[in-house]
Amino acid sequence: MLMLGPKKILVVGDVILDISCKGKVNRVSPEAPIPALLYEEMEYSLGGAANLTSNLIAAGQDVTLVSIIGSDKYENTLREMLVESGISDKYIFSFEKYTTCVKYRFRAQNDQQLLRVDVEDPNHNFTRDDTPVLALLKEVVGDFDLVIISDYCKGLLDEKLTQSIIHICKSYGIRVIIDVKNTTIRKYKGANILKPNLQELSFLTKKPVKNIEEIIAASHYLCKKSGAEYVLTTCGSAGMVLVNPFGLIKYINSTRINAHDVTGAGDTAIA
């Protein structure tokens, strides 16, 4: 059995604060035909690149996180949660005009989600300054075995910065894995491994993904167009498909379970 030791991994990506408002629904609201949630508790958890980092640490890896957050009411909470999870906030840069990404989920009995409310600036109208991130990468990236880019399209990873990260890593001979979100293939050109889900694969390739043959074809197309060594497509309950530029390498079946909440499934898969 092949045993892989701990690796030094640099994660660059969008962090998200997940907040769950939990309670019970026993009646319909008299004000509108909607369920009335009787509040019981609020739970906070790390999402996005922070969740990916947490999963990697749990797997015994030595991980450093680089990201941005807003100088807002969520900043201190998020930094405290990172540190409590064993993640240094040293390379978490804050911007006054950036809005920290927060997802509120309202849940009833059996963890049934009723509503999600997103807090973010959809246009990401803040003054960008990639200098701290790029300067940091040029300084420290040589100390790492692997770089993972966790792209949630929340304002950090535009095409220019993503390509700059890939080029810096290539100059040091460091492999890059990207959890993709954008709809433009050129943003991810030159990465070693791309990991889309079915929706992301369809958006990126403009191809149908309704059955396993179409999924393999679209994954293969993405692999060739992006210049990636591999594309690993997660297919929900249908498992995962791994291809290289020459075709299918492996189809990985899944074990079916009943899950009310699939939040963070992509982060777990890439970890």
For 84-107, how does the pLDDT look when each residue is reduced to its tens digit (9 = 90+)? 999 999 999 998 888 999 999 999
Catalytic residue among 14, 151, 179, 267: 267
d(CA 135, CA 113): 41
pLDDT at 58 over 70: yes
Q: Is-contact 9 19, C-beta < 8 A?
A: no
Catalytic residue flag (residue 89): no
How many Cα neighbours within 13 Å face the side chain of 133? Answer: 28
The confidence band for 208, taking pLDDT boundaries of 50, 70 and 90, is very high
Pairing of strands 113-119, 101-107: antiparallel
pTM listed for this prediction = 0.89
53 close to 11: Cβ distance less than 8 angstroms: yes
Of 55-69, 78-92, 122-136, 158-172, minimum mean pLDDT range? 122-136
